[in-house]
Structure 1
Amino acid sequence: MYPAEIVMPMKEQLTSNGFEDLTTPEQVEAAIAKSGTTLVVVNSVCGCAAGAARPGVVLSLDNDKVPTNLTTVFAGFDKDAVAKAREFFAPFPPSSPAVALFKDGELVHMLERHHIEGHSAAMIAENLKQAYNEFA
């Protein structure tokens, strides 16, 4: 488990941009059950989260269509919330960071770590914008 003083600034990169911080399994279930589109970002302390995932997700919101609900869980910190979110990601294996898009509770788009690592924030944003345009 990571210390809060390390995690909180990384959480703030998303929460200051409109993401709801989900810290319990119940919050995760409620968020994914909402109608419309829900983006779930599995945030983490790794370099690819800092260099590509978080900036890319924020950049993706500069689009005509965006998800109705923006949410995030933090791997290695909000353990139970992350475990619950990953149940909804099946058949994809656990991955941090990761980005999942749901439409009316159904997983419709997934970015795993291998889709993020080694890619630029702009590439992540473009991938997500295409998903928003298709599903939002």
Structure 2
Amino acid sequence: MPYPPQMVKAFKEELTEIGFTDLVTAEAVDSAMKKAATGVTLVAINSVSGCAAAIARPGVRLALENTDHRPDQLLTVFAGQDLEATERMRSYLQDLPPSDPSFALFKDGELVYFMPRYRIESRDANAVAADLHNAFDEFDEFDE
């Protein structure tokens, strides 16, 4: 059973306020991922966990504020809330086990980087931001 919408509203807004598109249906995920066939797309699988609140969401905010290599598309699904959308997004993550919160970076439709929960929960927001920033730099070629 999904979380009540009012419970996750503020958690979702932390990402939509910085440019993420909140995907709530499988169809929306498929449509957005078709656009991911070109350019760089960052996907955040959001959650109610403490590490999402204290580390993942602040970390991605820092990463996006301090980069010249911002992904072309920012997408998010909410695990535990938008069940169908989350399941569909996970189908794009190949054989990776479910992990939330997590981040996935796609380059021209191909998964090129994945940060699972275990690489988030034992760190701080600055460390997560640094890893994301490095991934943006590595896979973004718009300056070339």
Query: TM-score under structure 2 normalisation?
Result: 0.92
Report the aligned-residue RMSD.
0.8
Match of 1:39 in 2: 42
* Paired residue secondary structure (1:108): strand
Q: Aligned residue for 1:18? A: 19
1:97: which partner in 2? Answer: 101
Structure with the greater alpha carbon radius of gyration: 2
User: How far, CA to CA, are the matches of 2:87 and 2:96 in structure 1?
Assistant: 13
- Provide the residue aligned with 2:80 in structure 1: 76
C-alpha contact 1:33 1:104 (8 A) present in aligned 2: no
Unaligned 5+ runs, structure 2 = none
Distance, in Å, in 2 between the alignment partners of 1:121 and 1:129 is 12
SS of residue matched to 1:45 = coil
Following superposition, the deviation at residue 24 of structure 1 comes to 1.0
Q: Which runs of 4+ in 1 moved over 3 A?
A: none
Q: TM-score, normalised by structure 1?
A: 0.97
Which structure 1 residue ranges, 5 or more long, are not aligned?
Answer: none
Q: Percent identical across equivalent pairs?
A: 49
Separation in structure 1 between the aligned mates of residue 5 and residue 23 of structure 2, nearest angstrom: 15
Distance in 2 (CA, whole Å) between partners of 1:106 and 1:26 is 19
Equivalent residues, number: 136
Q: 1:103, 1:29 → 2: CA distance?
A: 16
Structure 1 residue 88 displacement after superposition:
0.8
Structure 1 residues 46-55 or 26-35, which shifts more? 26-35
